[in-house]
Structure 1
């Protein structure tokens, strides 16, 4: 079971979210785009944020199944990123970003740090051999981060995603250690066009 670690880049610091972040998490997760593209509860309440930082995050680290970091830029929490569903040397990356921080490459930097940690050998990393990326079809912003990170396009899974009791088409990609950090060029045109939130 990995212990929570802090990852530091040129512009971002990744650390586990805590009690001091509750109000900020509740504020950002009220954003319509986050509700549209993720599986966070909607409407998102302060109690949801409290449960996230007191149960979901620490339980994930303790079990070794989910490693979650707050993305901080200039001291402010601007997003969240995780490697979840960790088993059999693979995991799934997931992330969201505050509206004002989008479009500046911040999440791409955070993803590179997390991917580096995921693929690094133990005890300095998770020793993963594969990372999976999944998003609701139409989430081109998420696709852009995955593409820059080196994920290869796997295709569309009809009805592959579940969000609040409904099924939606899902985009999927795969990243192997040898491809990390090398922008993939095999993505279809549709993945570049953001669907309306």
Structure 2
């Protein structure tokens, strides 16, 4: 599949580029990333970023198995974070660098990706989400983007140590209006 650029009122979502490597690597040095994004290598190095941006992102788009966008304030701006749609799993994943949190950017990006997924996949009725129990920031974004809370159970992605800790799970239905749903554990 050819990469797609998505635009919102304040953001441009476009595949990461090799000139994003240093900025993305710096954002991923925050210690909370080691626990909340525990499927990533840790410590996260420049080589890890080069591999992700130079190999995994293009391969994911080519196969259609992992569609990933860097979140930017402008087309030529640095990445603020990353958001991915993983069709085989039917879910989204995301992270945002600390300097860019608290502005509603991730909720805006998540809404754009989910809207795009539903528009291009008419047979799909549901998009999933999960985060490690305690990742309140991720849960707040999912809740604000209209996801419904679906309970606590082990995460579906193996962590770097091979474990699958407890996670919060949610989903958004095609027919949902994007409003906030009750029942979230926060």
With normalisation by structure 1, the TM-score equals: 0.86
RMSD, matched Cα: 1.6
Q: Deviations over 1:150-169 (max 9, x none)?
A: 11111010476632123311
* Matching residue of 2:68: 68
* Structure 2 unpaired stretches of 5+: none
With normalisation by structure 2, the TM-score equals: 0.91
Q: Deviations over 1:27-49 (max 9, x none)?
A: 11111122220121110111101
The answer to whether the Cα contact below 8 Å between 1:137 and 1:170 also exists between their aligned partners in 2 is: yes
* Matching residue of 1:56: 56
- The CA distance in 1 between the partners of 2:46 and 2:137, in whole Å, is 26
* Matching residue of 2:173: 176
Counterparts of 1:17-32 in structure 2 under 5 Å?
Answer: 17-32=16-31
- The CA distance in 1 between the partners of 2:41 and 2:177, in whole Å, is 31
- The CA distance in 1 between the partners of 2:131 and 2:105, in whole Å, is 19
- The CA distance in 2 between the partners of 1:133 and 1:98, in whole Å, is 19
* Structure 1 unpaired stretches of 5+: 193-197
Q: Which has the higher strand share?
A: 1
- The CA distance in 2 between the partners of 1:7 and 1:47, in whole Å, is 27
Structure 1 stretches of 4+ moved >3 Å: 158-162
